[in-house]
């Protein structure tokens, strides 16, 4: 049916623009969709904390609900991952010979790295992959990247359960230092959530970044000593000082080595980079606070255009 | 059933519009969509490169097209009003609604609101792999309800949806529901919260006849609690039953703004009076 648009039969009273703005101001109306102040934003986010946790848990549960083995995959997936790396690096390339307790060493590295890697990957798509949600409901958008990071943390806790079993099977003694896992994970989670928020903002503006991330992340993984020992490489003076410092302060390497130090008794404090706890806290604060503010700065633009 | 319809009409009147307190003020609003990758003729890869290199200058050459969806729309909505938005497909109704909700940016003009207007709809937050029960909680939390509020209203949400009328379906994953059942549960979750300004986009068209009647009733209830209700619908009957004022958008322009009957009559004449033969005669005259 094609109709010509006639002149409106009844034109709505063309109210003066100043009048409307003044009317709105008089009754204390606010501009729709404006960005809240930072303290207000934090308050709103805190109010949605139950949504953040429920969304993370729901995503985690939904992940394997179609599989026959169901939630068993939560533990199976990281184990299979570790098995593949063991086969390639431990058996084929023979890294095994240079590192004591190689399997615990490797599995810890793989699990801790996967935590950071998948948080960042999920963060990159947090906004661009959930436009439907962003366009339909009001909530502080930071809830999404944080929720995805939390989902990865829950996933890691499943992996950690498997890891403890592996450790005990390979004769690593249970010790008090295992308690260090808690602060180490807390710091790493803060770091991951912060980087996720940075990537979420970039991914929202340029979704193409999601295509690049796997390559960047894989390069980062090989530089982070996931399946080889950084301290073995940096021993002696054959490497330039700058390279050594860069390798040792790499946040992924810091968190991985902290976890190895906490769990594996043959991994001594001498193998840790200098000032490791300071570095771990510094990275967490820098990424966490910086990422949050960076993300908030573009709050009103998410899901638009 | 006819008696009930009459009852609705009498029920409508008590909600008197308080014409002194505005809740939504639209001030000369323009909304423009930009669509990437519509470059015709050349390979889209070249167009994409062009877009990156020459950003502002050559938007058109690089295949960015603009769609002027809403043009210079101004209106004031008051507390207690229920406003229908009508117009043919693609006339900018849903776009305007999203802008009022603060989910789309406006190009020119401003939209002022009292509190946070919310779209009635939680579809995007729900997950088909989870049970209906968990989705009630997830949807409620996504809308900003507290766990206690949801717990309190859980039974009424499930009863209202009628999901459990044919057996214990609420404990099954939502992907196993029929499309009608899913739509009913989604509406029930969305309608469980009270809103300052409520925006409804064609939500009434879901479910069977008896559910439609219940949802119309629920919308009237919401209207009593809410400051203002906006309803986008192609169903003139549900507009008549729920709204006392109608905005008619056509090609992004506000063509008419007035009492329901007046605007609907003009609209039905415009669209060819598909609903009632009476209007067809009026058009011919």
Task: Say what the pLDDT of residue A119 is.
Answer: 95
A125 within a domain of the structure (yes/no): yes
A3 within a domain of the structure (yes/no): no
Asked if the model's pLDDT at residue A122 lies above 60, the reply is yes
Task: Say what the pLDDT of residue B57 is.
Answer: 54
For residue range B231-267, list pLDDT tens digits in order.
888 888 878 888 889 999 988 888 888 898 888 888 8
> Is the sign of the CA dihedral B228, B229, B232, B233 positive or negative?
negative
- Closest residue in A to B128 (Cα) is A62
Which of A1, A9, A62 faces B130 most closely, judged by CB atoms?
A: A62
User: Which residues 123-162 in chain A show a CB within 8 A of chain B?
Assistant: 130, 132-139
Task: Say what the pLDDT of residue B1 is.
Answer: 36
- A285 to each of A28, A102, A196, B165, how far by Cα in Å? 38, 32, 14, 53
Task: Say what the pLDDT of residue B41 is.
Answer: 46
DSSP-assigned beta bridge partners for residue B110: B27
Rounded Cα distance between A229 and B105, Å, is 51
CB contact under 8 A, A15 and B76: yes
A208 within a domain of the structure (yes/no): yes
Mean pLDDT, residues A34-40: 88
Mean pLDDT, residues A102-128: 91
A92 close to B (CB below 8 A): no
CB count in 10 Å sphere of residue A206: 12
pTM, two decimal places: 0.80
Exposure on the CB side of residue B78, measured as CA atoms within 13 A: 10
User: Which residues 262-301 in chain A show a CB within 8 A of chain B?
Assistant: 300-301
For residue range B168-178, list pLDDT tens digits in order.
888 888 888 88
A22 close to B (CB below 8 A): no
CA-based nearest distance B122→chain A, Å: 7
Looking at every residue in chain B, the average pLDDT score rounds to: 77
Rounded Cα distance between A170 and A269, Å, is 21
CB contact under 8 A, A54 and B137: yes
Task: Say what the pLDDT of residue B61 is.
Answer: 56
Mean pLDDT, residues A61-68: 81
CB contact under 8 A, B125 and A137: yes
Mean pLDDT, residues A154-170: 87
For residue range A210-243, list pLDDT tens digits in order.
999 999 999 999 888 888 888 777 777 777 888 8
Mean pLDDT, residues A258-281: 86
B76 close to A (CB below 8 A): yes
For residue range B134-163, list pLDDT tens digits in order.
999 999 998 888 899 999 999 988 988 888
CB contact under 8 A, A32 and B138: no
Phi, psi dihedrals of residue B65, rounded to the nearest 5°: -110, 145
How many folded domains does chain A comprise? 1
What is the maximum span of chain A, computed from C-alpha positions, in angstroms? 88
What CATH number does the domain located at B2-30+80-120+195-284 have?
3.40.50.300
Segments forming the whole domain that contains residue A271 = 52-301
Asked if the model's pLDDT at residue A197 lies above 90, the reply is yes
Task: Say what the pLDDT of residue A1 is.
Answer: 41
Task: Say what the pLDDT of residue B281 is.
Answer: 40
For residue range B91-145, list pLDDT tens digits in order.
888 888 888 888 887 888 888 888 778 787 777 788 888 889 999 999 999 888 8
Which of B113, B124, B141 faces A32 most closely, judged by CB atoms?
A: B113
Mean pLDDT, residues A41-55: 93
Asked if the model's pLDDT at residue A304 lies above 80, the reply is no
Rounded Cα distance between A205 and A185, Å, is 30
Task: Say what the pLDDT of residue A14 is.
Answer: 47
């Amino acid at each position: 049916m094609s109709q010509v648009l006639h002149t409106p039969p009844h034109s709505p009273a063309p109210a003066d623009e100043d009048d409307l703005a003044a009317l709105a101001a008089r009754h204390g109306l606010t501009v729709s969709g404006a960005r809240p102040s930072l303290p207000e934003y934090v308050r709103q986010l805190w109010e949605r904390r139950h949504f953040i946790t429920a969304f993370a848990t729901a995503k985690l549960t939904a992940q394997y609900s179609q599989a026959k083995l169901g939630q068993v995959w939560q533990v199976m997936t990281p184990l299979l991952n570790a098995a593949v790396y063991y086969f390639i690096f431990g058996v084929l390339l023979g890294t095994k010979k240079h590192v004591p307790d190689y399997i615990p060493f490797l599995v810890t590295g793989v699990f801790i790295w996967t935590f950071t890697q998948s948080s960042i990957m999920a963060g990159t798509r947090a906004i661009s992959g959930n436009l439907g949600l962003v366009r339909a409901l009001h909530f502080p958008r930071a809830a999404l990247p944080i929720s995805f990071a939390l989902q990865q943390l829950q996933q890691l806790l499943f992996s950690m359960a498997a890891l403890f079993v592996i450790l005990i099977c390979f004769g690593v003694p249970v010790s008090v230092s295992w308690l260090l896992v808690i602060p180490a994970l807390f710091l790493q989670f803060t770091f991951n959530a912060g980087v996720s928020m940075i990537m979420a903002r970039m991914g929202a503006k340029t979704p193409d970044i999601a295509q690049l991330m796997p390559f960047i992340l894989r390069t980062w993984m090989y530089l982070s000593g996931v399946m080889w020992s950084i301290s073995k490489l940096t021993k002696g003076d054959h490497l330039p000082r700058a390279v050594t410092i860069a390798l040792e302060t790499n946040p992924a390497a810091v968190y991985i080595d902290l976890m190895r130090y906490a769990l594996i008794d043959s991994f001594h404090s001498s193998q840790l980079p200098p000032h490791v706890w300071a570095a771990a806290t510094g990275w967490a604060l820098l990424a966490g606070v910086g990422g949050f503010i960076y993300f908030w700065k573009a709050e009103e633009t998410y899901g638009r255009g | 059933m006819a008696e009930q319809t009459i009852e609705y009409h009498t029920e409508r009147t008590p909600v008197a519009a308080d014409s002194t307190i505005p809740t939504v003020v639209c001030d000369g609003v323009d909304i423009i969509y930009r669509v990437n990758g519509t470059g015709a003729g050349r390979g889209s890869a070249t167009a994409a490169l062009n877009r990156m290199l020459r950003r502002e200058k050559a938007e058109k050459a690089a295949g960015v097209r603009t769609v002027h969806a809403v043009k210079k729309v101004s209106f004031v909505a008051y507390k207690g009003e229920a406003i229908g938005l009508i117009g043919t497909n693609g006339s900018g109704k849903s776009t305007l609604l999203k802008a009022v909700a603060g989910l789309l940016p406006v190009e020119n003009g401003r939209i002022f609101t009292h509190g946070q207007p919310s779209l009635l709809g939680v579809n995007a937050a729900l997950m088909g792999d989870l049970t209906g029960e968990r989705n009630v909680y997830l949807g409620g939390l996504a809308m900003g309800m507290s766990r206690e509020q949801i717990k309190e209203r859980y039974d009424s949400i499930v009863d209202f949806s009628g999901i459990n009328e044919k057996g214990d379906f609420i404990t099954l994953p939502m992907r196993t529901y029929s499309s009608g059942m899913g739509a009913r549960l989604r509406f029930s979750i969305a309608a469980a919260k009270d809103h300052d300004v409520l925006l409804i986009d064609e939500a009434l068209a879901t479910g069977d006849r008896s559910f439609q009647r219940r949802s119309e009733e629920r919308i009237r209830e919401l209207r009593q609690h809410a400051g203002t209700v906006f309803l986008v619908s192609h169903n003139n009957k549900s507009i008549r039953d729920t709204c006392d004022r109608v905005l008619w958008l056509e090609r992004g322009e506000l063509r008419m703004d007035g009492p329901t009957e007046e605007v609907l009559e003009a609209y039905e004449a415009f669209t060819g009076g598909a609903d009632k033969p009476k209007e067809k005669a009026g058009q011919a005259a």
